[in-house]
Amino acid sequence: MRDEVITQARRVVVKIGSSLIASRETGLSAERLERLAKEIAEIRAQGREVLVVSSGAVVSGIKKLGLREYPKSLPVKQAAAAVGQSRLMWAYEKAFERLDLRVAQVLLTHADLADRRRFLNARHTLTTLIEFGVVPIINENDTVAVEEIRVGDNDTLAAQVAHLIDADLLVILSDVDGLFTADPRKDPGATLIPLIHEITEDIEQRAGLSSTFEGTGGMATKVRAAKKVGEYGVPTLILNGTHQRLLPEVLSGHPGGSLFLGRERRMNSRKHWIAFTLRPRGQVQLDQGAVEALVRKGKSLLASGIRDITGQFDAGDPVTCTGPDGKECAKGLVNFSSAILIRIKGLKTADIQKIPGLQEYEEVIHRDNLVIL
């Protein structure tokens, strides 16, 4: 199963970690970047379409600005990204130019992906670049992104790009071999897990104990990214990018890395966007009957099943739904603002209809705009 999933993937997103191409001591390593460009060119020659999500802009800018440590404030980090991003893209441009390949810079923020129209526009732009034989080099637009519109880390961004363009495989390249049964630095008996059928709580705990990655991400962020994109049916391969030619060899069927399988019944694109791209603006607490209606019976959410509302939100905003025990059970787009929901919570539809000006919808969240978590 593993070999089949990997070798048959035709559209591949490759995330390159900052530890592979940049360091705080030396800045950007053109030599390592050129080696990775050759490997990407090789897997393209196998008949695959490749998109790159690249870290390294901030770390590259740190060296250029003469900073002694990783910036803590957002303005300094953005300044480093502005300096480093141009150096990073120039290095990619030159590396791929030697291989007779064209590249395009694509900068995204969470706000670009959270807006459905901009999400679809980004999809069309990326697919058009692929049709022209261009290799998109994607990064977060750190120079303009404030905290509210940031994706946060490039593992998450890579997962969102994989969903955005309907990828067949997400490859996360870093400086470790994959997910182990234990921390290999502390346990000499730890072994690599080559195939993960399902990301369980145990798997997430193992990932949380790892601290071998440089940069802002870690194994935990990579497993979370694999879990998110796996809901859309896309598998994720975590691979050690420091080993020369490992990427093209593994994609040709050789052993290496840890593969996380995606779900066979993939969530449709819009519902995946609601579940994993949109950030909730508030929360509604449901009674047990409403939880059963949503989770077991596939019903829409009605006001009669709502106990309480937390946060301020407008009609059309994403909110999470929790049961009486406080556990999240669903997420969706509400038809009413929080101010109106406070007035109608617990009321039956017939009673709401008697209130002038409020009865625009029967459902608080329609099942077409609702995702069970």
Q: Please enumerate, by residue number, every residue annotated as part of a binding site for substrate.
A: 55, 142, 154
Instruction: Classify residue 324 by its DSSP letter.
Output: T
Alpha-carbon distance of 248 to 176, in angstroms, equals 17
List C-alpha distances in Å: 268 to 237, 238, 271, 356: 22, 24, 6, 37
Q: Taken in order 10, 16, 20, 26, is the CA torsion positive or negative?
A: positive
Alpha-carbon distance of 370 to 195, in angstroms, equals 31
Residues making up the annotated binding site for ATP are 15, 174-175, 216-222
Place of tokens 């690599």: 192
List C-alpha distances in Å: 166 to 50, 114, 120, 122, 163: 12, 17, 12, 12, 5
Residues making up the annotated binding site are 15, 55, 142, 154, 174-175, 216-222
Best CA proximity match to 282, nearest among 330, 317, 326 = 317
Give phi and psi for 125, each to the nearest 5: -65, -45
Give phi and psi for 107, each to the nearest 5: -110, 130
Q: Counting runs of H as helices and runs of E as strands, what totals does the chain give? A: 15, 15
